[in-house]
Structure 1
Amino acid sequence: MFEKRNDPAASAAPVHPLKLLTRAEFAALGGDAVAFIRALDGASLSQLVHDSRFEDEVEYHLVMSADGTPLMVADTQEAVFDWLSEQTLGLATLH
């Protein structure tokens, strides 16, 4: 498997300026107003949300802010959309 981090040419490539923003700079651009939904199995989700344990084979729906902060976890898309309808977040359809 090819990994960019092991490729000297890729590691010398310039870093995109948005990756260098602080949390405050990112929020000023509206990054705190955008979220995305990611479907994950419980085993993967347990690695992202360290203070909780999820059933390994169950599919969950994780709502994350644009900066990667977990905002909400549900076991149905309906629950996610109900929660999002009460929030002031924009939903990114591609990430």
Structure 2
Amino acid sequence: MKQDRTFTQNDPLTPAEFAALGAGEVAYVKPMTSDELMRLYPHAPKIEPGLHLYTLLSADGAPILVTDTREAATANAWEHDLKMVSVH
């Protein structure tokens, strides 16, 4: 017989606490263009516009790596023992 369980937390996480979940442990790969990269991270080194890139991002969305292949981003995560998650 299946039993439903409900868990209620009395003190919800603050936005900062929620963003810190998985920091240094979880990452995801996001495709983006060099134009998007420059808009999202204006202090990043300037690169040619119109390039298709892949970013490896930490759980809180901070960039870890920018590369031209998904495989390179995934390999970097694996090399640094980061658990890859899918973001929908």
TM-score of the superposition, structure 2-length normalised? 0.70
Contact 2:23 2:60 (C-alpha < 8 Å) held by counterparts: yes
Are 2:75 and 1:82 equivalent residues in the alignment?
A: yes
| TM-aligned CA deviation for residue 88 of structure 1 | 1.5
CA root-mean-square deviation:
2.1
Q: State the match for 2:85 in structure 1.
A: 92
Are 2:42 and 1:47 equivalent residues in the alignment?
A: no
Residue 16 (structure 2) aligned to one of 12, 22, 39:
22
How many positions carry a matched residue from both structures? 76
What fraction of aligned residue pairs are identical, expressed as a percent?
32
Q: Which has the higher contact order (CA 8 A, sep 6+)?
A: 2
Unaligned runs of 5+ in 1: 1-16
Structure 1 or 2: more helix by fraction: 1
1:67-86 C-alpha deviation (Å, 9 max, x unpaired): 11100000111211221221
Are 2:60 and 1:60 equivalent residues in the alignment?
A: no
